[in-house]
Amino acid sequence: MEAYKKTIEEVQMETAVDSQQGLASKEVIRRQKVDGVNKFDEAKGDSALKKFFHSLSDFTTIILLVAAAISFYTAIATDHGDYFEGILIIAIVIINAVLAIVQEGNAEKSLAALQDMNKQSSAVLRAGKVEVIDAEEVVVGDVLVLESGSMITADARLIQASQLRVEESALTGESEPVEKNPEYISKENLPLGDQANMVFKGCTVANGRGRAIVTAIGMRTEMGKIAGLLNNDEQQKTPLQKRLNQLGKRISLIALGAAALVFLIGQQQGEPLLDMFMTAVSLAVAAVPETLTVIVTLTLAFGVQKMAKKHAIIRRLPAVETLGTANVICSDKTGTLTQNKMRVRRVWTRGDEVTDTEDAMTDEAMEVLKMASLCTDVIVDKEGDDLVVKGNPTEVAIVRAVEENYHTKAELEEKYPRIGEIPFDSERKMMTTVHKMGKKYISITKGAFDVLLTHFRFGDLEQAAVVNDRFGKRALRVIAVGYAIYDEEPKEITSEGLERNLRLLGLIGMIDPPRPESKGAIARAKKAGIKTVMITGDHVITAGAIARELGILHDKSEALTGSELQKMTDEELDSRVKSLSVYARVTPEDKIRIVKSWQRTGAVVAMTGDGVNDAPALKASDVGCAMGITGTDVAQGAADMILTDDNFATIVDAVAQGRAVYRNIRKAINFLLSCNISEIFIVLIAMLLGWGAPFTAVQLLFVNVVADGLPGFALGKEPAEKGIMDENPIPRNEGIFARGLWQKVGMNASVFTVITLFGFYLGANVDGISHWIDASYEVGQTLAFLILAYSSILHVFNVRSTQSIFKVKLSSNKSLFEMAVLAILITTTIALLPFTQELFGLVPIGINHWMLAIGLSIVPIFVNEMIKFHYAPEEEE
Ligand code: ATP
């Protein structure tokens, strides 16, 4: 029989658990051994072989394979038996495919590792204590402790619920949260959506609280049964990666066009057909930017790793790029800009008495705190001598104040047992609990003073309003506490029934000091052209006071309250949004309006959130940032990035890193394309002039893979440049080639072309450069090869920075330096050893030739230095 058809007692018996205590740890271990872990079977990925063949279907790879085929054909046709070229091309194809697979594997692994860091947890009752455990460790019989925002980690039969509503769309498609009721029972067969006494794995608590006994875990849960359908292994490619793949294709097409052209010219000039084939092959391989995609992927992966080290976990790869373009950060206040160490500072009681808690507490003040602490859901624990209070920061502050004054929440709860509650949520901004008090009953309501005001009937409300303002100006959050006494047990636990005609007991003023790093981070963001906007549930005066301290607010007119916002039309909001920097007493719905309004002005918005109802705003924003510590599972699921330290400064760091990644990708493009494009020019021009091909295909492949590839891989590790946060963000739709990148690529390609052709010409035609070596076509080719290889390798130092290469320390990216040296050594060795000379179609050259090659190879450095000298301050690389 299904669990929903059983009574609570039956479920308790069957799962052998005491629902007041939960399972004992020995029993948990035993059950884990028998039932296994609470997770879905993993989907099998594609086999390495399948991935390998898949990568061969890439457009650029196809070009290389055709080139290899032609190369083999000419080797056979000319009977020269030189299969090296064909073999080399095939080898490069294989190396590229293997690299891609390894790289993909690494990316998958690091993504899995990130997911591990962001593992789901679950609150359960074990051995009488509420513990937060890894969701995979949940066993049948565990008692789940459910709160608003928690993810349900197993299928479970409810045993207690208060206003519990669960969002089950993942399972039933129904987006409205469903009301749950542990008492409900039916013997009929019911669809999942109607099983009101059950909660299911993968769904989330939208509201209220409850407890439930786990009846099924892992693949045996309802979600597990359809888990196979949910496996979503769609490859995440960023928009930039997609565009660059397109670019690679386009350049390859240009090369094919150029190859066809060269072929035709050659035929006209009466060159042998096979020679023309060979040149066409070399042009095709020349232009294919073999390493571009791998380098871009590496750069992104490296950026993600760096962000993770700085407490920002990227959940969606495109966020890395978007972060770099963000120009507005909408941030929560509590816990993000502030320390999340809320402390009670003042208490105002009926006797019009303000008690600074630095002094001793009066009995009246204690009375307010004690009452308020009954109306909280925090968990109090002792770790050694330290008091640990976990839960909502406002409530933690209240209970801390009580416990530190020698009372305990436990003792109060025993005296006034709770019999009902209306939970807190950010929309209502208040909370009520009902308790037994001797023979009578008392309801205690606490919440924001201004929101509660209309709910009070008795008490000195005028004076309280004055105190509320005074506390607010001192940046204190004010919580009002009221109560009502009943002779009979209240039947209706609803707002209408309980939260009316209250008596005001007192006000509690508490402070959550700003994080010391917030102010600096806000200033840094401002310098980088990013506006910080504070969005808070707090009172406008309190929020304003803190915002002023942090440098977010400079004038009262920059602050708006939620109710003022609700009165504005979208057009009115759009016209003011740029001048507003504090939104107070807002609801999560207001957050979406603020994001959308900013977006209509063309802004790229990063937004923080932690609650269940923040999820839509997180989704609507360009970069949704969820809190790692206080954030609910729902918020984390909706976010692009998770802040593991809940800290505002982390967002600003992540933006800097995002910008660095974007720049490094631009650097890689400048580096690789300058060389690739120059190769097309060089071959094309030489052919047009009737000089013959300056390179063989093998030489070009070497330049692309070794001279460009090796240093290129290290470009992704380039650290962020100093001035990166002194510039305005990149506009939303700006192309990757904007701000003169095309011009730079074109200019460098031209310089490479001129120096290489010059070297080629001298080597091929001018005798007497070296004493013993006469000019020959092969000497020209050797010179061309050396010049292009060396100058390409050295070009990596040009693209590193907008600053002169003499100002950038080599040690700031050691691997770049090492890779460049390695590439130079390999190139030189190949040109010196007789065996490799033959393989690569090179010949011995004289010392003066060497000097000439080296001299011409450093020309691009001079040209770039001159340009930097003139333009560096305004331009970025
Ligand atoms: P921020 O939006 O800056 O992060 P927050 O998330 O704490 O702040 P909310 O949780 O929406 O904001 O709280 C809004 C208001 O509700 C608070 O200013 C306070 O007056 C009141 N409040 C907060 N927590 C409770 C609670 N547990 N019980 C009753 N009232 C509360």
pLDDT in tens, 789-809: 999 999 999 998 888 888 888
Mutation to probe ligand 1, out of 209, 337, 429 (largest number of atoms < 8 A from CB): 429
Q: Which residues pair with 344 in a beta bridge?
A: 510
Give the single-character DSSP code of 80: -
| pLDDT (mean) for 8-37 | 89
Domains in the chain and their CATH numbers?
3-42+113-232 (2.70.150.10), 236-310+656-870 (1.20.1110.10), 314-339+516-646 (3.40.50.1000), 343-511 (3.40.1110.10)
Task: Find the range with the poorest average confidence among 161-170, 292-301, 578-587.
Answer: 292-301
Atom of ligand 1 nearest to the CA of 336: 4
pTM over the 0.85 mark: no
Q: Render the burial of 66-88: b for 16+ CB within 10 Å, e for the rest.
A: ebbebbbebbeeeeeebebbbeb
Least confident of 32-41, 138-147, 243-252: 243-252
185 close to 131: Cβ distance less than 8 angstroms:
no
| Nearest CA owner, ligand 1 atom 9 | 537
Measured by CA distance, the residue closest to atom 18 of ligand 1 is 538
DSSP 241-294: HHHHHHHHHHHHHHHHHHHHHHHHHHHHTT--HHHHHHHHHHHHHHHS-TTHHH
- Set 58, 142, 155, 332: catalytic member: 332
Q: Are 209 and 146 in contact (CB under 8 A)?
A: yes
Measured from the CA of 426, which atom of ligand 1 is nearest?
Answer: 11
Q: Parallel, antiparallel, or unpaired: how do β-strands 531-535 and 582-584 relate?
A: parallel
The Cα 517–Cα 536 span in angstroms is 19
Pocket test for ligand 1, best of 479, 539, 550, 585 (most atoms within 8 A of CB): 479
| Ligand 1 closest atom vs CA 448 | 20
**C-alpha of residue 148 to centroid of ligand 1, in Å:** 14
3-state secondary structure at position 442: strand
Distance 478 CA to ligand 1 centre (A): 10
CB-count burial class (<10 Å; 0-12, 13-18, 19+) for 668: buried
> Of all protein residues, whose CA lies closest to atom 7 belonging to ligand 1?
334
User: Rounded to whole angstroms, how far apart are CA atoms 330 and 606?
Assistant: 6
**Cα–Cα distance, 28 to 480 (Å, whole number):** 43
Q: How far is the CA of 451 from the centre of ligand 1 (A)?
A: 11
Distance between CA atoms of 62 and 56, rounded to whole angstroms? 7
Does the annotation count 332 as an active-site position? yes
Which backbone phi and psi does 338 adopt, to 5 degrees? -105, 175
Tell me, what's the pLDDT at 356? 59
**Substitution site in 538, 540, 613, 643 for ligand 1 pocket (most atoms within 8 Å of beta carbon):** 538
Distance, in Å, from the CA atom of 791 to the CA atom of 174, rounded to the nearest integer, reads 62
Euclidean distance between CA atoms 785 and 285, whole angstroms: 15
Distance of CA 532 to the CA centre of its chain: 19
Per-residue pLDDT tens for 676-700?
A: 899 989 988 998 888 888 988 888 8
Q: Atom 31 of ligand 1 has which residue's CA nearest to it?
A: 447
Q: Which residue(s) pair with 124 in the sheet? A: 131, 144
Tokens of 104: 């993909």
Find the 355 Cα to ligand 1 centroid distance in Å: 23
CA distance 556 to 547: 11
Q: Are 122 and 138 in contact (CB under 8 A)?
A: yes
Q: Which helix (H) or strand (E) holds 862?
A: helix 859-871
Lowest average pLDDT, out of 264-268, 335-339, 587-591, goes to 264-268
- Beta strands of 171-259 (E only): which ranges? 178-179, 198-199, 204-216
Q: Which residues pair with 22 in a beta bridge?
A: none
CA of 211 from ligand 1 middle (Å) equals 24
Ligand 1 atom 10: residue of nearest CA? 426
Contacts of 535 (CB under 8 A, 6+ apart): 330, 331, 332, 333, 583, 586, 590, 591, 594
pLDDT of 120 reads 77
- List, for residues 178-196, the tens digit of each pLDDT value: 899 999 888 888 888 889 9
For the cut 50, the answer to whether the pLDDT of residue 234 exceeds it is no
Cα separation of 329 and 656, whole Å? 13
Calculate what percentage of the chain has a pLDDT beyond 70: 93
What is the structure's pLDDT at 573? Answer: 95
Q: Which pLDDT score, from 0 to 100, does residue 423 have?
A: 87
CA 403 to chain CA centroid, nearest Å: 39
Residue 152 Cα, ligand 1 centroid: separation in angstroms?
24
- Ligand 1 atom at minimal distance to the Cα of residue 449: 20
Count CB atoms within 10 A of the CB of residue 160: 15
Average pLDDT, the chain: 86
Average pLDDT score over residue span 483-500:
89
**What are the structure tokens assigned to 816, written together?**
């770049």
User: Mean pLDDT over residues 377-395, rounded?
Assistant: 84
- Ligand 1 nearest atom to the CA of residue 534, by list position: 3
Confidence of residue 45 (pLDDT cuts 50, 70, 90): low
Count the alpha carbons within 13 Å of 833 in the hemisphere toward its beta carbon.
Answer: 10
What would the pLDDT profile of 815-840 be if each residue is shown by its tens digit?
A: 999 999 999 999 999 999 999 998 88
For residue 155, give the 3-state DSSP assignment: strand
Q: Are 699 and 783 in contact (CB under 8 A)?
A: no
> Sign of dihedral through CA atoms 362, 364, 367, 368?
negative
Q: Are strands 502-511 and 198-199 parallel, antiparallel or unpaired?
A: unpaired
- How many angstroms is it from 426 CA to the middle of ligand 1? 6
- Nearest CA owner, ligand 1 atom 1: 536
pLDDT of residue 767: 83
> Per residue in 723-739, pLDDT tens?
889 888 988 777 778 88
CA nearest neighbour of 547 among 595, 581, 590: 581
Q: From 426, 532, 535, 618, give the residue whose CB has the most ligand 1 atoms within 8 Å, as the site to mutate.
A: 426
Give residue 355's pLDDT. Answer: 59
Confidence at residue 580, expressed as pLDDT on a 0 to 100 scale: 96
Helix and strand element counts for the chain (H, E): 34, 25
Residue 117 has pLDDT above 60, yes or no: no
Q: What is the pLDDT of residue 220?
A: 86
Ligand 1: nearest atom to the Cα of 429: 16
Burial of 244 from C-beta contacts in 10 A (0-12 / 13-18 / 19+)? buried
Q: State whether residue 532 is helix, strand or coil.
A: strand
Nearest-CA residue for atom 19 of ligand 1: 448
pLDDT for residue 352: 55
Count of other CB atoms within 10 angstroms of residue 312 = 27
Measured from the Cβ of residue 617, the count of other Cβ atoms closer than 10 Å reads: 27
- Structure confidence at residue 233 as a pLDDT band (50, 70, 90): very low
Q: pLDDT tens digit string along 411-459?
A: 999 999 999 889 888 888 999 999 999 999 999 999 999 999 999 998 8
**C-alpha 475 – ligand 1 centre gap (Å):** 14
Atom of ligand 1 lying closest to residue 542 CA:
18
pLDDT of residue 263: 79
Residue 497 or residue 360, greater confidence: 497
Atom of ligand 1 nearest to the CA of 538: 18
Cα–Cα distance for residue pair 401/379, rounded to 1 Å: 14
Q: Reply yes or no on whether the pLDDT at 229 is more than 50.
A: no
Separation between Cα atoms, residue 146 and residue 162, nearest integer Å: 10
Distance CA 293, CA 668 (A): 10
Whole-number Å distance, alpha carbon 382 to ligand 1 midpoint, is 26
Location of structure tokens 């999560």: 588
Q: Are strands 343-349 and 353-356 parallel, antiparallel or unpaired?
A: antiparallel
538 Cα: distance to centroid of ligand 1 (angstroms):
6
Per-residue CA distances from 682 to 367, 395, 617, 757 (Å):
88, 73, 53, 7
- The DSSP letter of residue 725 is G
Nearest atom within ligand 1 for CA of residue 587: 11
Radius of gyration of the chain (CA): 35
- List the structure tokens of 692: 């013959």
Residue corresponding to tokens 């930039």:
240
Q: Which of 357, 397, 508 is nearest to 447 (CA)?
A: 508
Mutate to test the pocket of ligand 1, among 340, 376, 394, 646 (most ligand atoms within 8 A of CB): 394
Backbone angles phi, psi at 84, to 5 degrees: -55, -45
What are the structure tokens assigned to 479, written together? 């919580």
Query: 598 C-alpha vs ligand 1 centroid, how far in Å?
Result: 25
Q: Is 138 left (phi over 0), alpha (psi -120 to 50) or beta?
A: beta
876 has pLDDT over 60: no
Whether 385 has a pLDDT exceeding 80, the answer reads: no
- Name all residues whose Cβ lies below 6 A of ligand 1: 332-334, 392, 394-395, 424, 426, 429-431, 446-448, 477, 479, 536-538
| Residue nearest atom 2 in ligand 1 by C-alpha distance | 536
E strand or H helix that includes residue 161: strand 155-167
CB-based contact 76:27 (threshold 8 Å):
no
Please state the rounded mean pLDDT for residues 612-616: 77
Distance of alpha carbon 410 from alpha carbon 187, whole angstroms: 40
Residues sharing a CB contact under 8 Å with residue 305, sequence separation 6 or more, in sequence order: 110
Q: How far is the CA of 859 from the centre of ligand 1 (A)?
A: 64
Please report the atom of ligand 1 found closest to the CA of residue 478. Answer: 20
Task: Report the C-alpha gap between 826 and 820 in whole angstroms.
Answer: 10
Cα–Cα distance measured from residue 204 to residue 632, given in angstroms and rounded to the nearest whole number: 10
SS3 state at 646: coil
Between the CA of 831 and the centroid of ligand 1 the distance, in Å, is: 72
* CA dist., res. 527 & res. 728, Å (int): 8
DSSP 97: H
**What pLDDT shows up at residue 712?**
87
**Ligand 1 atom at shortest distance from the alpha carbon of 611:** 6
Query: Ligand 1 centroid to 476 CA: how many Å?
Result: 12
Residue nearest to atom 17 of ligand 1 (CA): 538
CA distance 580 to 540: 13
Largest CA distance in the chain: 117
pLDDT at 751 over 60: yes
